């Protein structure tokens, strides 16, 4: 249920969403209030997430309970630490006692006497004035009789006077005689520390005498640490409240709303048995939409923009609704009117934070993630003044998140607002630092040793590069840094990044620029390797068209694009389209690079493969041999291109039935590829698959089977289960099972092949 105004002239209120889990937590805590010595229910979450709205809703439920109850009523009240004076223990207790007096006629005799004694000891020459006390205060009654309040002789007088006062005082005096008697011997500081205890005595006595239960709400709990978070122990600031709670056993439920979890178990691990803490998460999208509709925002594009940018924070929506109404008076609002985080969000987030915390959060808002090591590096590098030893304290905020692997992040809304409301020069400096930090992790990267950490480094380096590098530099940087991942077949990882680079380049440089052509070509190659030929074809065509416009027709990159486009046509079986492109590419390469260049060898090998597919074996064989001769002359013996050529030549010999020549070539190709590319590369899978085909063709099924299975494992893992190469291996495995007369297995693999195809 969302609560919001229907009158457009009313101020927008932060909505409450009746989230079942939080209401149930309250009901459960209240129902079990007598089963535990202490009951503390904590609701925590980022600023503006709806804690206060929840607190108000729970208060409404208590009102309804009292209105309908025929027997025991619930005593309840609330106090908000947003009011600075309430953060002082004596004032907190004074206000709460006043509220409970007025609402439920509860007497706070012990607290009143203790506070009056404290005040008189601190101000011995200033008389107490009875008009400063409520009519039902014991201090007023005593002053009516004694006309003076002197701690040395007052306490015995109070106890004696109680006999002439109403019966209620007599019972109290009898029960609290020893506690009151000791006050005159205490120093003011000692009495000040004991004020929560005396207050607790009074409420505990009332609850015991009436068999009633109490609920006390405390809101904006984080304000207790305003400007004093780093002074002394974190848990010293609310030590007095723990003392208060400790002296009211059973029958009292404390509901604390703040930005952080309570950490009382650091003081005494027994508190874990009594703290019930619930994090209030983002507002569900359906409720956000409902609120916007109720408040008159019906434009779908604006609804979408506000829901996405709000990150589920109701206060953001409240401010946005106010902004919408202001704009509406002058013109029709548009999504771009809400692009910036409202000022109020930023100030609400950083309220109660000290300078060092704010400066640290500004720096941390630039990276998307960090760990403890990076946290310390950033703090020292940018000299924020925050102690590096206080990592845990900073990350205890509800807007900070840390997973079980130590990966830290910040709530996206506060992150965005921090980035907007800070010095942009500092932000760019941090982006540049992070770019170098991650780029250094990618230097001289061995493609066989790429780890998830390297993948993260590339992803994060790319994020920061977009923020700090000029457009043309970004393109060249990314081609270089992503090359090891390209060669290691991490195509699914880098393809979205290439797409972003393309969009950025086209937006900044236009569609006819050499860097555009290069990016289109690389992007097409990625889609090709991933088996997405329909996506690859238009990119290759655009790359060739752009390259021919901006470069000399005989430029090597033109030939490379021709070669790639021809290979795609060959792969999809359009041999007649592929042939002229291969021939033209070969002509350019031989003219520009020379007849013995490795690029010429690559094109020769591809042309040979095309002739082989077309059944023109007599044309294919000399081209394969010429390719191998060039490769062996110009490349190292372990170069991947040599392995490719050998693999292709072995497959050719196997196709024409020359098995004696095929076998050693397959072995050599597999050896090179495993050494250079590692054991889980698609090229290794290709050789394994071809090798298995070879063994199957000569009837050695037991040798073929494990090779097929290994090839399938690699292709499914690296290329994904729907890749055409996976389908090829599945089909080959099915055929092998037919040869082995294992028809059930064959049927299974044929069905999988058909599903992919």
Structure tokens belonging to residue 148: 């003076």
CA-based nearest residue to 756, from 729, 718, 717: 729
Q: Is the pLDDT of residue 344 over 90?
A: no
pLDDT digit string, tens, across residues 65-104: 777 765 668 899 999 998 989 999 999 999 999 999 999 9
Give pLDDT, residue 412. 86
DSSP H/E element including 255: strand 252-258
Compute φ and ψ for 40, nearest 5 degrees: -125, 115
Q: Is the pLDDT of residue 5 over 60?
A: no
Distance CA 444, CA 649 (A): 32
Give pLDDT, residue 165. 56
Give pLDDT, residue 397. 81
Give pLDDT, residue 374. 96
Distance CA 78, CA 56 (A): 9
Cα separation values, 46 from 59, 222, 395, 625, Å: 21, 11, 13, 69
Lowest-confidence segment of 335-349, 461-475, 720-734 by average pLDDT: 335-349
Give pLDDT, residue 6. 39
User: Is residue 752 within 8 Å of residue 731, measured between CB atoms?
Assistant: no
Distance CA 706, CA 611 (A): 31
For residues 214-234, give the mean pLDDT.
80
Domain ranges of the chain: 1-17+283-339, 30-225+235-279, 350-422
State the DSSP code for 252: E
Q: What is the dihedral of CA 308, 309, 313, 316, to 10 degrees?
A: -130
In 183-275, alpha helices (H): 188-210, 239-246
Query: What fold is seen in the domain 350-422?
Result: Arc Repressor Mutant, subunit A (1.10.10)
Q: Is the pLDDT of residue 421 over 90?
A: no
Give pLDDT, residue 2. 38
> What is the average pLDDT value for the chain, to the nearest integer?
87
Compute φ and ψ for 383, nearest 5 degrees: 50, 55
Give pLDDT, residue 145. 64
Start-to-end CA span in the chain (Å): 49
| Residue 671 CB coordination number (10 Å) | 14
Q: Is the pLDDT of residue 152 over 50?
A: no
CATH class of 30-225+235-279: alpha beta
Q: Is the pLDDT of residue 313 over 60?
A: yes
Give pLDDT, residue 328. 85
User: Is residue 142 within 8 Å of residue 157, measured between CB atoms?
Assistant: yes
Distance CA 624, CA 410 (A): 57
Give pLDDT, residue 69. 62
User: Is residue 653 within 8 Å of residue 662, measured between CB atoms?
Assistant: yes
Distance CA 547, CA 558 (A): 6
| Residue bearing tokens 């409420």 | 203
pLDDT digit string, tens, across residues 274-303: 999 999 888 888 888 888 888 889 999 999
Structure tokens belonging to residue 341: 């985080």
Compute φ and ψ for 397, nearest 5 degrees: -60, 145
Burial class (CB in 10 A: 0-12, 13-18, 19+), 125: exposed
CA-based nearest residue to 348, from 46, 83, 87: 46
Cα separation values, 261 from 229, 276, 281, 352, Å: 15, 10, 14, 16
Q: Are strands 408-410 and 400-402 parallel, antiparallel or unpaired?
A: antiparallel
Structure confidence at residue 376 as a pLDDT band (50, 70, 90): very high
Instruction: Indicate if 350-422 has the same CATH topology as 30-225+235-279.
Output: no
Distance CA 569, CA 478 (A): 28
Q: Is the pLDDT of residue 1 over 70?
A: no
User: Is residue 648 within 8 Å of residue 674, measured between CB atoms?
Assistant: no
Distance CA 130, CA 605 (A): 106
CA-based nearest residue to 652, from 605, 698, 602, 688: 605
Distance CA 341, CA 311 (A): 11
Strands, sheet with 252-258, edge to edge from the N-terminal-most edge strand = 74-80, 213-219, 252-258, 39-44, 275-279
| Better pLDDT: 211 or 499 | 499
Q: Is the pLDDT of residue 373 over 90?
A: yes
Lowest-confidence segment of 309-313, 520-524, 638-642 by average pLDDT: 309-313
| Better pLDDT: 311 or 477 | 477
Three-state DSSP state, 217 = strand
Q: Is the pLDDT of residue 9 over 60?
A: no
pLDDT digit string, tens, across residues 235-283: 888 999 999 999 998 889 999 999 888 999 989 999 999 999 999 888 8
Q: Is the pLDDT of residue 4 over 70?
A: no
Structure confidence at residue 156 as a pLDDT band (50, 70, 90): low
Structure confidence at residue 181 as a pLDDT band (50, 70, 90): confident
User: Is residue 567 within 8 Å of residue 578, measured between CB atoms?
Assistant: yes
Structure confidence at residue 3 as a pLDDT band (50, 70, 90): very low
Q: Is the pLDDT of residue 741 over 60?
A: yes
* Total-model pTM: 0.70
Distance CA 42, CA 23 (A): 12
Q: Is the pLDDT of residue 582 over 80?
A: yes
Distance CA 78, CA 71 (A): 23
Q: What is the dihedral of CA 734, 740, 742, 747, to 10 degrees?
A: 20
Sign of CA dihedral 159, 160, 161, 167: positive
Distance CA 688, CA 187 (A): 88
Distance CA 129, CA 137 (A): 12
* Exposure on the CB side of residue 155, measured as CA atoms within 13 A: 20
| Residue 135 CB coordination number (10 Å) | 8
| Residue bearing tokens 């108000």 | 56
Distance CA 682, CA 689 (A): 10
pLDDT digit string, tens, across residues 524-566: 999 999 989 999 999 999 999 998 888 777 788 899 999 999 9
Q: Is the pLDDT of residue 472 over 70?
A: yes
């Amino acid at each position: 249920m969302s609560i919001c105004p229907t009158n457009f002239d009313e101020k927008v209120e932060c909505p409450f969403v009746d989230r079942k889990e939080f209401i149930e937590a309250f009901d459960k805590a209240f129902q079990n209030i007598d089963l535990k010595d202490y009951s503390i229910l904590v609701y925590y979450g980022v600023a503006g997430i709806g804690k206060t709205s929840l607190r108000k809703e729970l208060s409404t439920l208590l009102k309804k309970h009292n209105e309908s109850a025929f027997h025991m009523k619930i005593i309840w009240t609330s106090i908000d630490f947003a009011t600075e004076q309430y953060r002082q223990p004596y004032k907190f207790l004074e206000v709460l006692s006043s509220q409970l007096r007025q609402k439920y006629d509860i007497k706070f005799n012990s607290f009143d006497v203790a506070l009056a004694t404290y005040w008189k000891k601190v101000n011995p020459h200033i008389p107490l004035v009875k008009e400063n006390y409520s009519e039902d205060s014991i201090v007023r009654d005593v002053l009516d009789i004694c006309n003076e309040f002197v701690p040395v002789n007052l306490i015995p007088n109070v106890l004696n006077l109680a006999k002439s006062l109403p019966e209620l005082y007599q019972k109290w005096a009898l029960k609290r005689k020893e506690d009151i008697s000791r006050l005159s011997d205490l120093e003011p500081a000692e009495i000040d520390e004991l004020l929560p205890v005396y207050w607790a005595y009074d409420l505990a006595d009332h609850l015991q005498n009436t068999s009633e239960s109490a609920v006390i709400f405390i809101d904006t709990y984080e304000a207790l640490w305003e400007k004093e978070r780093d002074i002394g122990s974190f848990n010293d600031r609310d030590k007095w409240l723990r003392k208060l709670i400790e002296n009211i056993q059973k029958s009292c439920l404390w509901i604390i709303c703040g930005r952080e979890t309570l950490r009382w178990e650091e003081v005494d691990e027994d508190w874990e048995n009594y703290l019930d803490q619930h994090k209030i998460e983002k507002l569900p999208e359906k409720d956000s939409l409902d609120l916007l509709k109720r408040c008159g925002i019906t434009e779908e594009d604006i609804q979408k923009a506000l829901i996405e940018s709000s990150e589920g924070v109701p206060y953001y929506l409240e401010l946005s609704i106010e902004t919408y109404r202001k704009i509406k008076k002058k013109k029709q609002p548009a999504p771009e009117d809400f692009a910036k985080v409202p000022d109020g969000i930023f100030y609400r987030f950083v309220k109660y934070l000290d300078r060092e915390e704010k400066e640290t959060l500004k720096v941390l808002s630039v990276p998307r993630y960090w760990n403890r090591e990076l946290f310390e590096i950033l703090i020292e590098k940018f000299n924020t003044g925050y102690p590096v030893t206080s990592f845990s304290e900073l990350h205890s905020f509800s807007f900070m998140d840390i997973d079980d692997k130590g990966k830290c992040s910040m709530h996206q809304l506060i992150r965005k607002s921090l980035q907007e409301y800070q010095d942009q020069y500092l932000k760019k400096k941090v982006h540049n630092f992070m770019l170098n930090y991650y780029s250094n992790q990618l230097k001289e990267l061995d493609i066989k040793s790429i780890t998830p950490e390297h993948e993260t480094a590339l992803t994060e380096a790319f994020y920061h590069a977009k923020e700090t590098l000029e457009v043309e530099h970004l393109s060249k940087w990314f081609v270089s840094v992503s090359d090891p991942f390209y060669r290691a077949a991490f195509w699914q990882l880098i393809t979205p990044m290439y797409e972003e680079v393309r969009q950025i380049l086209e937006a900044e440089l236009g569609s006819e620029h050499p860097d555009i052509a290069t990016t289109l070509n690389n992007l097409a190659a990625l889609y090709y390797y991933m088996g997405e030929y329909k996506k690859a074809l238009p990119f290759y065509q655009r790359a060739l068209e752009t390259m021919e416009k901006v470069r000399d027709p005989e430029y090597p990159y033109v030939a490379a694009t021709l070669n790639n486009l021809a290979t795609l046509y060959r792969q999809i079986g359009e041999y007649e389209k592929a042939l002229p492109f291969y021939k033209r590419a070969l002509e350019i390469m031989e003219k520009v690079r020379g007849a013995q260049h490795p690029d010429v060898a690559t094109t020769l090998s591809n042309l040979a493969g095309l002739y082989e597919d077309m059944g023109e074996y007599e044309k294919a064989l000399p081209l394969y041999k010429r390719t191998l001769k060039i490769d062996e002359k110009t490349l190292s013996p372990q170069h991947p291109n040599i392995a490719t050529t050998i693999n292709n030549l072995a497959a050719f010999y196997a196709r024409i039935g020359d098995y004696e020549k095929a076998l050693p070539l397959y072995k050599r190709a597999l050896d090179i590829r495993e050494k250079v590319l590692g054991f889980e590369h698609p090229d290794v899978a290709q050789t394994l698959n071809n090798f298995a085909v070879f063994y199957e063709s000569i009837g050695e099924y037991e040798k073929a089977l494990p090779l097929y299975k290994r090839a399938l494992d690699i292709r499914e893992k690296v290329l994904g289960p729907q890749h055409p190469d996976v389908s090829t291996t599945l089909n080959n495995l099915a055929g092998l099972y037919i040869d082995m007369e294992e028809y059930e297995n064959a049927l299974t693999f044929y069905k999988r092949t058909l599903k992919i195809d």
